[in-house]
């Protein structure tokens, strides 16, 4: 992958925390907790991890379904979302720091270390710094909220297809109305144009123009997913986020939907973020793969590299679950379980995502970096 290009999508330190419960039972679920990745034009980027690791929340945060807690999202180099948490924290920090420094200065005056005049000048500077920081942070917090509304055009360029084609299609709307919704939101009023676009896109996804009069329940699971794909593509997005698009489908239908997505990717020059819990699904479909565990990316590499040189024990555990079409291998295949305690992380030995070789990143503590380097083939 040519990393000198500008990424089409850049996700920077993305955090999405949810407050759940109330009172003493209130707790913060860190569904996504500091995720970084870039996707380049025309690339298919696989995001993999077990249920609950935050894959869906990552996708939903990118398409602006939530106000992100922290971090930034860039589309074609333009910031389309930013979280306010850093700025909220900065305000609290600057307030606490000013208070602490002023108390310190007053103590120095009492003990005659500095004069009252010297203290007054320094206190004035501290207060000025506090005012400036708070004003900047308040501006950024306002901008975070505004960005989400301002960038509607950008969000049209990213569309998502969902895991469950039954739940994601309104049962009371005809196929035409479902697919036309995005066109209407974008201001298209001409019924003939709408009908033509809906009919054309139905053909593109392998359905028939006359299917537009029907309701979702009249279709099979695979066909419903095709309707979901048509709805996403009708407004010409550049990026498609496919959130486990085949996991709710019969095995016999899965390959058809994967092939359809592959064809459409070529035809429309799409960039795809493909979310799945199963590495075998993304293997043949992705250029690069990121493995996610509990809200963080633990390994990221070209698809072939990840399969040849998996380093993180969690990636290895996911790989051990991938079946191979070799009966001898299958008879001996053992599912490796992952126990996060094996890392023995402590205060001095904390992990971060490091580039262990060009394009191959792994979450590793300083001790693990050496071990992983030895393991590399």
Ligand X SMILES: Nc1ncnc2c1ncn2[C@@H]1O[C@H](COP(=O)(O)OP(=O)(O)OP(=O)(O)O)[C@@H](O)[C@H]1O
**Residues forming the site for ligand X (CB under 6 A):** 18, 20, 29, 31, 49, 51-57, 277
Separation CA 262–CA 272 (nearest Å): 10
Beta-carbon contacts of residue 112 (< 8 Å; ≥ 6 apart): none
Give whichever of 52 and 366 is closer to ligand X, judged by the CB atom: 52
Nearest to 303 by CA among 291, 317, 321: 291
**Smallest separation, CB 81 to ligand X (Å):** 17
Alpha carbons 306 and 360: distance in angstroms, whole number: 8
Tell me how far, at minimum, the Cβ of 23 lies from ligand X, in Å: 17
Q: Are 226 and 205 in contact (CB under 8 A)?
A: yes
Pairing state of beta strands 158-161 and 44-48? unpaired
CA dist 367 and 369 (Å) reads 6
C-beta of 18 vs 213, nearer to ligand X: 18
Nearer to ligand X, 52 or 358 (CB): 52
Integer Cα distance of 297 and 313 in angstroms: 13
Which CB atom, from 43 or from 244, has the smaller least distance to ligand X?
Answer: 244
Of 35 and 235, which has the nearer Cβ to ligand X?
35
Structure tokens at 37: 């990745």
| Residue number, 15 or 277, with CB nearest to ligand X | 277
| In the complex, minimum distance from the CB of residue 247 to ligand X, in angstroms, rounded to a whole number | 8
H helix intervals, the chain: 55-62, 85-110, 116-150, 152-156, 175-185, 191-204, 221-233, 251-268, 279-283, 303-308, 313-319, 327-332, 366-375
Q: Which residues contact 97 (CB under 8 A, 6 or more apart)?
A: none
Closest to ligand X by CB, 54 or 182: 54
Provide, rounded to whole angstroms, the least separation between the CB of residue 275 and ligand X.
7
Q: Do residues 81 and 58 touch, judged by C-beta distance below 8 A?
A: no
Q: Taking the complex as a whole, how short is the minimal distance between the CB of residue 29 and ligand X, in angstroms?
A: 4
DSSP class of residue 238 equals S
**Min dist. Cβ of residue 86 to ligand X (A):** 21
CB of 307 to ligand X, least distance (A): 21
């Amino acid at each position: 992958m040519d990393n000198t290009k500008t990424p089409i999508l850049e996700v920077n330190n993305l955090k999405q925390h949810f407050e759940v419960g109330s009172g003493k039972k209130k707790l913060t679920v860190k569904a996504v907790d500091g995720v970084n990745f870039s996707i380049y034009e025309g690339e298919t980027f696989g995001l993999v991890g077990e249920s609950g690791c935050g894959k869906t929340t990552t996708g939903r945060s990118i398409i602006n379904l939530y106000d992100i807690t922290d971090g930034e999202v860039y589309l074609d180099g333009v910031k389309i979302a930013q979280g306010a948490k850093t700025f909220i924290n900065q305000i609290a920090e600057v307030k606490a720091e000013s208070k602490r420094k002023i108390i310190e200065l007053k103590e120095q005056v009492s003990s005659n270390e500095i004069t009252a005049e010297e203290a007054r000048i320094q206190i004035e500077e501290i207060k000025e710094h506090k005012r400036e920081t708070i004003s900047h942070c308040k501006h950024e917090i306002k901008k975070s909220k505004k960005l989400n509304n301002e960038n509607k055009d950008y969000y049209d360029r990213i569309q998502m297809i969902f895991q469950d084609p039954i739940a994601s299609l309104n049962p009371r709307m005809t196929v035409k109305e479902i697919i036309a919704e995005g066109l209407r939101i974008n201001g298209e009023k001409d019924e003939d144009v709408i009908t033509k676009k809906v009919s054309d896109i139905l053909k593109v996804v392998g359905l028939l123009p006359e299917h537009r009069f029907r309701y979702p329940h009249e279709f099979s699971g695979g066909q419903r997913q095709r309707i979901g794909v048509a709805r996403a593509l009708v407004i010409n997005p550049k990026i498609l986020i496919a959130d486990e698009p085949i996991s709710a489908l019969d095995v016999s239908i899965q390959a058809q939907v994967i092939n359809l997505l592959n064809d459409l990717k070529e035809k429309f020059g799409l960039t795809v973020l493909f979310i799945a819990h199963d590495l075998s699904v993304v293997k043949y479909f992705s250029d690069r793969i990121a493995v996610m565990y509990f809200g963080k990316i633990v390994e990221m590499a070209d698809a072939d590299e990840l399969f040849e040189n998996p380093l993180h024990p969690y990636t290895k555990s996911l790989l051990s679950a991938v079946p191979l079409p070799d009966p001898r291998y299958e008879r001996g295949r053992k599912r490796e379980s992952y126990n996060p305690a094996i890392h023995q992380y402590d205060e001095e030995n904390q992990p971060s995502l490091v580039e262990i070789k060009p394009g191959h990143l792994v979450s590793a503590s300083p001790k693990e970096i050496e071990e992983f380097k030895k393991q590399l083939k």
